Structures are given as C-alpha cells and as structure tokens.
Amino acid sequence: MRFGILSTADIGRRAVIPAIRKTDHEVVAVASRDEETAREFADDLEIPTSYGSYEELLEADIDAVYNPLPNALHAEWTRRAADAGLDVLCEKPLTVDASAATALFDYCADAGVTLMEAFMYQFHPRTERAREIVREDLSTVRSVESTFTFSLRGDPDDIRLSPQLAGGSLMDVGCYAVSATRGFLGEPARIHAHALDTRECGVDTDLVAQFEYDDSGAHAQIRSGFDTQHRQHYCVDAENGWLEAENVFNPGPDTEVSITYSVDGEETTETFDPEDAYRLEVEAFVDAAERGSEPPIDRTETVANMRAIDAIYESADCGAPVALDGSRQR
C-alpha cells in the first residue's frame, strides 16, 4: 500500500513513517500547507514527493492517507480523503466528540473506504496480555487507576493548548487512560470529573475523572495533565490479586517492557521483548483495508471511547456526575 502523509507532524517523522517502512508498504508523498516545509521534510526522510497543499496530496497516486493533523481538523480531512477514495489511518482522538465520530464512520462507509483510529498502544502484545490476565485470572475487579501525564513546557502557541484545535490534556494523552480503563472494566455507568486550566489557555491542563460501575460496584480513576512529570501507568485491584505496569502507552520500539501481577498470593513479572506497536498498527490497518473487513479498532470502540470523553467534559463543566447517556446525576 502506498501512503501519503497529511502534514509534517512530529509523530509522523518520529514514529509512523519509520513504522510503515518496517512493513511491506511505503510512504510515497507528504504534504504541508507550506511547500518549502514539505520539501525539507521529504528530503530529510527520503520521501519521493512533497506537496505544498493537502489537496494536492489527495490527488496523488496513493492508496491511503495517514492523518496526524490537529484534532479539530481530523474529521474534515478524513472526509476529503474519503471523497478521493482513499483509506484513512487517523490519529487519536478521531474527532472532537462521539456524534462527530459516528458521522465520520458513516461518511467513510458510504464512500467505501476503511477508517481506523490510530491507537497504537492497543496493538502492543503487553496490552493484549494485560487485558487477558484481568479477564481470565483476576476475579471481581474492584478498582482501576490509569494515568498519562507529562510536563509540557515551551511554546505557548503549542496546538495542544489551543481550544480552537481541540487541545487539552484529555484529548492529547488522557484518551489513552480512558481507553485503558475501558479495556479492563468496560463502559461506566457514571463519570465525575474535575479539570484545571493552569495556563489560562482555554483547555484542561490537569484533569481527574472517576468512573463508577453499577453492576460490579467497581470504580476507576483516570488522570491526565501537562503540569507534572512524565508518567504512564495503570494498576488493577481485584479480590484475588492485582496487576500493574509502567510506561504503558508509548514505550518505544526498542524498549523492553513488563507487567507485574499477583493472583491468589503468587506474584509474577512477565517481560516483553521490544516491539514497534506502530508497525503492528499499520499492518492491522492495511490488512483490514485490503480485505474490506472491520479494522481491530472499529466504530464501536472509537465511539465508545469518545462517549466517555464527552461525559468527562460535561461533568467537568457542570460540576456533577454525568451518566453515559449525557444526563446529569444528583
């Protein structure tokens, strides 16, 4: 499959383009709104063709688009790629809310193209194994904690601090913590959240949300932020044991990782060889596109994650718990 890269975002340079090149597929073009920027990017990464507009890329001889544009632009340029008959691997979060995600999946289905949200951590063997342990070995999970924070310093015009571009810590990194929690416990009944805007920029820079589960009585806490040190962590506590891991969301393709867990008093640590989760993501996307099958991260998963994010924002705004149907709880 021939990929075009929609923008010169750092995640493309650092992670996705190298990952594509580890597969049988290729990156043949890149576009920027600035022709010189696109050309320099293409020269640095030895990409054959560069374009000074996104429109030109969509008219090029490519099969699929990788879309790492700012969050608020994901839907627009995914639709335009679909209009050109191109399959789309789009960075998370797919859209700004659940209704927009549903509409975008409908649009791509009508256009006959494959759409997948690029949540690469879900393809790492450790993620799959952690979920398996919780599902099969831990009985009656009582609580989950999931955190993704880092210290965002420097440019005050960083797109992650822009409300117009759907920035904020929840959209940038907290969406991982939401996804991980849902992967262990499923969909909560209610969410109660609190957010801070410590930069006075119009987006959350520190956020905590509590998930409540009526059927099991379990609860969870997710945390995201730009104000504290780098941490990626989850911990699951159950009646017969626990599981925890660090560096859980983007450990890097050359990093060995582990899970430690205890079942009925017996503690175990499992270690995983370095693995490029971005490569696995690309291969899964291409396989689904070529087969015309549902991708592993499908409509149901993406919309459910966005629905939880919507409830988090609603709760943070109103100061009260919010049910997943959007109603406020008293």
The pLDDT tens digits for 215-238 are 889 999 999 999 999 999 999 999
CATH number for 101: 3.40.50.720
Give the structural domain span for 75. Answer: 2-118
Choose the final residue of a domain: 63, 98, 118.
118
The answer to whether position 260 is within a domain reads yes
- The pLDDT value given to residue 156: 87
- Asked if 161 and 113 sit in the same domain, the reply is no
- The pLDDT value given to residue 330: 54
Choose the final residue of a domain: 90, 118, 146.
118
Note the pLDDT tens digit of each residue in 62-100.
999 999 999 999 999 999 999 999 999 999 999 999 999
The answer to whether position 73 is within a domain reads yes
- The pLDDT value given to residue 327: 62
Segment 292-307 shows an average pLDDT of: 98
- The pLDDT value given to residue 215: 87
Choose the final residue of a domain: 101, 118, 135.
118
The answer to whether position 301 is within a domain reads no
Q: Take residue 114 and report the two structure tokens written for it.
A: 């494959």
